[in-house]
Amino acid sequence: PELDLEKDDDSNPKLQFNISHTDSLIACGVTVNAPVGIDVEDKTRKTKSDVLALAKRFYSSQEVSFLSSVTDAEAQREEFIKLWTL
């Protein structure tokens, strides 16, 4: 079946999409007239960087504070991934 989409002033469909992939996972989000963002991550993936340094760059101060309170490195990495994929 076909989908009849509204078009913007330049005759482009008002379709928004985002694709994410990692290892054997892939996800695609599609919307009409609204931005969409999606991210998938392998929970067992090892990070090459210090997760706190990455968190300070991309996360809120509350999230960084939470991660700083996690003292076990593996648990901290797991919590980092959970926050990344919320």
- Residue-wise pLDDT for 8-51, tens only, equals 777 777 788 899 998 889 999 999 878 899 888 887 777 777 89
Q: How many residues does the chain have?
A: 86
What is residue 16's predicted lDDT score, i.e. its pLDDT? 86
What is residue 76's predicted lDDT score, i.e. its pLDDT? 93
- Quick one: DSSP state of residue 17? E
* Secondary structure of residue 39 in the 3-state scheme: coil
Q: How far apart are CA 41 and CA 17, in angstroms?
A: 18
What is residue 1's predicted lDDT score, i.e. its pLDDT? 63
- pTM metric for this prediction: 0.64
Q: How far apart are CA 42 and CA 31, in angstroms?
A: 25
